């Protein structure tokens, strides 16, 4: 069988390198190269961009990104068993694929990347959420990346694009929408993966805004939203009590009823509260974590 890029089909690659999926590494592989090409297209115009890919596995999405014209792909993979398969892709695209064997949560990729940079990944969901929060909450903005194209469990994707008042609305929506445009680009059924997970998945595409929608200190906003949605059924005057001795008055100054619950409050009001807790240029008066 021939493929779009003249490399062997992924089933053959997996069999030849004995890449049986390991549950503890969250390995649910995409083996359809038409599908990985479609996901790569969601990442936008890749010609002239470096792409950071986390968790390439046998390389289905990596091949999609290279076929879409990525100038250079830096792929970080924890599972050393995938390295020979990825080396074959690197040989087919000379000078365009660099693979680092390691944990994406531990590695700083910036030394290996040249702007403009886009990020694409089909990751285990827990790692994906942690990386997403890190990519969204650096102190300074704009960040090192222009866009993120990430696979999530469908429920997590819905939390990223949710609006106030909905069940899915929470910290992820606020942090994502504060500094980026976020949309669900496509949804995938369990059968798209090998082995099939129990849940549906979705690709979320986020584009970094040139500046946050409203001014606020990232660490303060992150802390407020963690406290507010950590106890989302509580009134804000209770869930945010640990942040300031007179939180009720700060809530009122921000135009937020102290008896309101986090899910009723929009991004702008949370940013106003963050500014009241930490006025620009002032160093961290916020208590706790
Ligand atoms: N991108 C491939 C695909 O779409 O078929 C593989 C996707 S699979 C869901 C997730 C991949 O992430 C696996 O290859 C796994 O080994 C890798 N992985 C898991 N945790 C990782 C981590 N902390 N850092 C880097 N890679 C990781």
pLDDT in tens, 120-168: 999 988 899 999 999 999 999 999 999 999 999 999 999 999 999 999 9
CATH 1.10.8.100 domain residues, the chain: 218-277
Indicate the CATH number of 218-277 among 3.10.105.10, 3.30.230.10, 3.40.50.720, 1.10.8.100.
Answer: 1.10.8.100
Choice between 1 and 155, residue whose per-residue pLDDT is larger? 155
State mean pLDDT over 229-258: 96
Reported as a single tens digit per residue, the pLDDT across 176-199 is 999 999 999 999 999 999 999 999
Name the band, by pLDDT with cuts 50, 70 and 90, for residue 289: very low
Give CATH 3.40.50.150 domain extents, the chain.
10-208
- Ligand 1: which of 14, 21, 25 to mutate, judged by most atoms within 8 Å of the beta carbon? 25
Ligand 1, atom 10, lies closest to the CA of 123
Q: Which residue is closest in CA terms to ligand 1's atom 5? A: 29
- Any atom of ligand 1 within 6 Å of the Cβ of 27: yes
How many C-beta atoms lie closer than 10 Å to residue 257's C-beta? 13
Q: Of residues 31 and 4, which shows the higher confidence score? A: 31
- The architecture of the domain spanning 10-208 is 3-Layer(aba) Sandwich (3.40)
Residue 281: pLDDT band with limits 50, 70, 90: low
Q: How many A from CA of 105 to the centre of ligand 1? A: 12
Answer yes or no: is pLDDT of 282 > 80. no
The string of pLDDT tens digits covering residues 76-132 is: 999 999 999 999 999 999 999 999 999 999 999 999 999 999 999 999 888 999 999
Whether residue 186 contacts residue 154, with contact meaning beta carbons closer than 8 Å, is answered with: no
**Residue 48 pLDDT greater than 90, yes or no:** yes
Supply angle C-alpha 255, 259, 262, rounded to 5: 75
At residue 285 the predicted structure's pLDDT band, cuts being 50, 70 and 90, is: very low
- pTM for the predicted model, two decimal places: 0.94
Q: What is the pLDDT of residue 4?
A: 78
* pLDDT surpassing 80 at residue 284: no
Give burial (CB, 10 Å; 0-12/13-18/19+) of 211.
exposed
Quote the crossing angle between the two packed helices 218-230 and 267-277, to the nearest 10°: 120
Going by alpha carbons, the residue nearest to atom 6 of ligand 1 is: 57
Tell me how far apart the alpha carbons of residues 146 and 135 are, in angstroms, rounded to a whole number: 11
Question: What pLDDT score was predicted for residue 97?
Answer: 98
Name the packing angle between helices 154-161 and 171-179 (round to 10°): 60
Report the percent of the chain where pLDDT is more than 70: 96
């Amino acid at each position: 069988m021939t493929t779009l890029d003249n490399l062997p089909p992924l089933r053959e690659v997996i069999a030849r390198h004995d890449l049986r999926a390991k549950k503890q590494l969250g390995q649910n592989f995409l083996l359809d190269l038409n599908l990985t090409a479609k996901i790569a297209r969601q990442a936008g115009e890749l010609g002239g961009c470096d792409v950071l890919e986390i968790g390439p596995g046998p390389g289905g999405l990596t091949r999609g990104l290279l076929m879409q014209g990525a100038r250079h792909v830096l792929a970080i993979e924890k599972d050393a068993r995938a390295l020979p398969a990825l080396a074959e892709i690197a040989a087919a695209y000379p000078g365009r694929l660099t693979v680092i064997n390691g944990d994406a949560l531990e590695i700083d990729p910036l030394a290996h990347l040249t702007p403009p940079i886009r990020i694409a990944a089909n990751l285990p969901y827990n790692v994906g959420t942690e990386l997403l929060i890190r990519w969204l909450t650096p102190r300074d903005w704009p960040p090192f990346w222009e866009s993120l194209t990430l696979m999530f469990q469908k429920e997590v994707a819905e939390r990223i694009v949710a609006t106030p008042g909905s069940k899915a609305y929470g910290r992820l929506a606020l942090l994502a929408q504060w500094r980026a445009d976020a949309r669900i680009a496509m949804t995938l059924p369990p059968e798209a993966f090998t082995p099939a997970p129990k849940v549906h998945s979705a690709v979320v595409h986020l584009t970094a805004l040139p500046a946050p929608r409203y001014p606020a200190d990232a660490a303060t906003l992150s802390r407020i939203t963690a406290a507010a949605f950590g106890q989302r059924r509580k009134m804000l005057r209770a869930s945010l009590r640990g942040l300031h001795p007179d939180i009720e008055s700060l809530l009122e100054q921000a135009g937020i009823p102290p008896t309101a619950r986090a899910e009723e409050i929009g991004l702008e009001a949370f940013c106003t509260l963050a500014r009241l807790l930490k006025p620009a240029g002032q160093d961290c008066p916020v208590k706790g974590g």
